[in-house]
A and B are shown apart, each in its own frame.
Chain A
Amino acid sequence: AQSVTQLDSQVPVFEEAPVELRCNYSSSVSVYLFWYVQYPNQGLQLLLKYLSGSTLVESINGFEAEFNKSQTSFHLRKPSVHISDTAEYFCAVVSYNTDKLIFGTGTRLQVFP
Chain B
Amino acid sequence: NAGVTQTPKFQVLKTGQSMTLQCAQDMNHNSMYWYRQDPGMGLRLIYYSASEGTTDKGEVPNGYNVSRLNKREFSLRLESAAPSQTSVYFCASRGYSDEQYFGPGTRLTVT
Mutual binders A and B? no
Enumerate chain A interface residues (CB-CB to B < 8 A). Answer: none
Enumerate chain B interface residues (CB-CB to A < 8 A). Answer: none
